Amino acid sequence: MYDVIIIGVGPAGISAGIYAVSRGQKTLILEKNQVGGLIRRVSAVTHYAAIVEGETGESFAKCLRKQAENAGVEILKTEVKKVELTGVEKRIYTEKECYCAKKVILANGTSPRKLGIPGEIELAGRGIGMNAAKDAMKYRGKHVYVIGGADGAVKEALYLAGVAEKVTIIHFEETLGCIAQFQEKAAHTPNIELRLHARLHAVYGVEKVESLEILDEKTGAIEIIEDSGCGIFVYAGTVPNTELYNEISLDNGFLPTDENMQTEIPGVYAVGDIRVKQVRQVSTAVADGTIAAIHAAR
């Protein structure tokens, strides 16, 4: 039995855990993956107050874990299989145990969106769907393709441009959707090429990507590019991890909350990217976790 159980160990979950423990709450965080969530996958953490120069997603995640452990937050690596949230006592089921608490904070974020194109599943990890921070050096001097035009996609494209011979950004809109800072940097990086109003249509190969198809959104024409051994890094948005929460009414898959981060179920809070919100950044996730934990502890 705990005072507060948190599901998810990204920045929002860690922040919630630290604040809950500081207010005397017996707190448990459950997570099937490593500390950090999606932030662990990025090449560089930017625009966050007081980060050190050269901060990577990996180093940031290590700091999150160390701070949580030093604060006395209990983190258990396990997968949540089922939840019962409507009662006064909330029940969280894993494969082997049932954990109970009066307050639960849902912080298990989002997962990368799949493209749903031919070859994506068959070649996953063998040329498509890799982590730029982890896999960039495999493509030193080669061609890489970045799918997406938002902040995360262009930031990773800039990182990859320092390793690869050429980086092609494929984006379905007329202009990149990233902030001005990243747009300017991309425009002045000589080995970055933009393929706008275009989509990745298919990839082909056996042990590696041998060729890919690019669809022109304006004309409908499909171009086949032979590029053996290239790398394709997909940043096509994310989908919320809310499949377990059928007791809560969803809004386009996300969890609605009030200003205290509480959902429609008393004692159940949602924080970070999993909840309905306008801005999804590390800073806003940390703030969500802080607010939820303080109110949960009252």
Cα of first residue to Cα of last residue in the chain, in angstroms, is 18
Residue 73 in this model has a pLDDT that exceeds 90: yes
Residue 18 in this model has a pLDDT that exceeds 90: yes
For the purposes of burial, counting CB atoms within 10 Å of the CB of 204, is it exposed (0-12), middle (13-18) or buried (19 or more)? middle
Band the pLDDT of 129: cuts 50, 70, 90. Answer: confident
Residue 295: Cβ within 10 Å count: 17
In tens, the pLDDT along 266-298 reads: 999 999 999 999 999 999 999 999 999 999 999
Band the pLDDT of 130: cuts 50, 70, 90. Answer: confident
* φ/ψ (deg, to 5) at 137: -65, -20
User: In the predicted model, what is the mean pLDDT of residues 162-188?
Assistant: 97
Whole-number percent of the chain with pLDDT over 70: 100
Task: Give residue 114's pLDDT.
Answer: 94
Average pLDDT for the chain: 96
Task: Give residue 147's pLDDT.
Answer: 98
Residue 207 in this model has a pLDDT that exceeds 90: yes
Task: Give residue 29's pLDDT.
Answer: 97
Task: Give residue 200's pLDDT.
Answer: 98
CB 267 within 8 A of CB 103: yes
Characterize 241-251 residue by residue with b for buried, 16 or more Cβ atoms within 10 angstroms of its Cβ, and e for exposed. Answer: bbebbeebeee
Residue 193: Cβ within 10 Å count: 14
List 112's β-bridge partners, or say none: 238
Residue 178 in this model has a pLDDT that exceeds 90: yes
Could you identify the residue written with the tokens 């179920």?
265
Residue 128 in this model has a pLDDT that exceeds 90: yes
Residue 92 in this model has a pLDDT that exceeds 90: yes
Q: What share of the chain is helix, strand, coil (3-state, %, to 5)?
A: 25, 30, 45
* Range of weakest confidence among 13-22, 38-47, 86-95, 202-211: 38-47
DSSP per-residue letters across 174-234 = SS--S-HHHHHHHHT-TTEEEE-SEEEEEEEESSSEEEEEEEETTT--EEEEE-TT-EEEE
**Domains within the chain, CATH numbers bracketed:** 2-111+238-297 (3.50.50.60), 132-234 (3.50.50.60)
Band the pLDDT of 105: cuts 50, 70, 90. Answer: very high
- Give the span between the Cα atoms of 284 and 28, in whole angstroms: 22
List 214's β-bridge partners, or say none: 200, 223
For the purposes of burial, counting CB atoms within 10 Å of the CB of 56, is it exposed (0-12), middle (13-18) or buried (19 or more)? middle
* Joined tokens for residue 205: 């190969």
- Give the span between the Cα atoms of 150 and 171, in whole angstroms: 9
Task: Give residue 261's pLDDT.
Answer: 98
Amino acid type, 81:
K
